Amino acid sequence: MSGRSKNKPEVNCDVYVLLCCYVLQKCSISFSISISIDPQNLFPLTVVSTKNYFCFTTRINGYCKRQFSRLLSSHTENGLSTRSVTFKRAPHYILCSIERDSPLAACLYGEISIPHYGSQRLMNIFDTKDLEYNQKVDDRHRCNWKEGDWTDDSDQMILILRTLVQNGGKFDEKDFAKKLRHWVRHGYEELGDTGGCGLGRTTASVLSHRDFLKNPHKAAKDVWEGSGRFIAPNGGVMRTSVLGTMEFPDLNKVIENTRSACMVTHADPRCIASCVAVTIAIALMLQREYVFNNGEHDINAIMSTAHWYAEQELKETPQYKDELKHHMFAESIDKLELDSPRAIGYTFKCMGAGFWAFRQKDFREAIQAITMEAGDADTNCAVAGALLGCKVGFRKLPKSWVKGLCHRGWLDKEIKSYFTLLGLQH
């Protein structure tokens, strides 16, 4: 049996350089970066603080070499040179290349590239091993979407992407609120939308609050309190997975962004806890803090840590702690009762579906199993796709699902803008 690795294996993205630079940045320590280029585009990079508190060496690829080219003065005929550059703060491009088969890319595409039919009657029509976009049943509800289109879950996730990109990596709740209201009224006009489709009742109520644009958190809290502090739907957790990828080395920052994004429309602690559980799990995977010697993630350790952080959001409502644990660690998908008529959109059910999928190995099989449970299938699959996608990587996503997206080119540009913000290759 593989044991936990103390010396983390080499990975495609240089998480460790990022972490080192982040620590130096937070400590307000100036540091230098010495670069030696070799002809094979693989070169060591050493980060050393001016006070010699830290020293770290790793490898990065040609993308980072190109990013640093402006800082390098010269190189010799054999391609070797060294120059030190001092930064007061870590630049964006210290984040090294993360290619399209990375966990980060798979997290984003995994949430969107899912044929979420959500109808039990499909079990009698199609082989569940072969669900594809062209098998969509155009009933009164599904006729609102084109073949290969995604739903409001992913639409709102893209709004979060845009908020981060346009605010230099900062999540601004007022800007997101403004974008959300515009989306509700117009959709993505460049895609031919005439309005946002699939909006939940809680989100609609919050958006109609007179203070929504000025203070969205207050508006959401007012609506929640007006319900007797009862409503806890999945409209927050469905869109916030991406925040596990932003500043993922700093879990406190991940939680701060996650809370803020959720509370724009959903103030119940159960909603916040659900979002935190998902984004912390994603951040931990990107950190590769919990891995075995064979490079695979320690699922139990990630889930236990994510559960602990989520539970902290329930300090004022401890009566929900057992329920949180039940849904996060459900032994089978049947235990979640995703098609329960009275709780079809409950936030813990959606989060539970995500973590059930996280423990599976095959992306297609897991997403299809959740789809066949019916219920709020598109939302359950969105969270499941983000978690499992981040775990298995981009190459393990079904090719037909990714290639079959009807607005693939547009989506690629949106994700590329986000990767550019992070200084990553796409």
Known binding positions: 151-153, 376, 378-379
Best CA proximity match to 112, nearest among 389, 311, 338, 342: 389
- Strands 31-36 and 43-49 come out as antiparallel
Where helices occur in 75-122 by DSSP H, the ranges are 103-112
The tokens for 231 are: 């409503």
The tokens for 424 are: 């990553």
Please state the residue numbers annotated as binding site for Mg(2+): 151-153, 376, 378-379
How far apart CA 351 and CA 234 sit, in angstroms, is: 8
Q: Could you tell me if residue 187 is left (phi over 0), alpha (psi between -120 and 50 degrees) or otherwise beta? A: left
Distance of CA 404 to the CA centre of its chain: 21
**Is the distance from CB of 195 to CB of 185 less than 8 angstroms?**
yes
How far apart CA 276 and CA 280 sit, in angstroms, is: 6
Tokens 């979407």 sit on residue: 145
Alpha-carbon Rg for the chain in angstroms: 22
Helix (H, G, I), strand (E, B) or coil at 202: helix
The tokens for 215 are: 């203070």
Best CA proximity match to 224, nearest among 232, 215, 216, 214: 232
Best CA proximity match to 218, nearest among 267, 251, 179: 267
**Is the distance from CB of 203 to CB of 210 less than 8 angstroms?**
no
Tokens 């925040």 sit on residue: 243
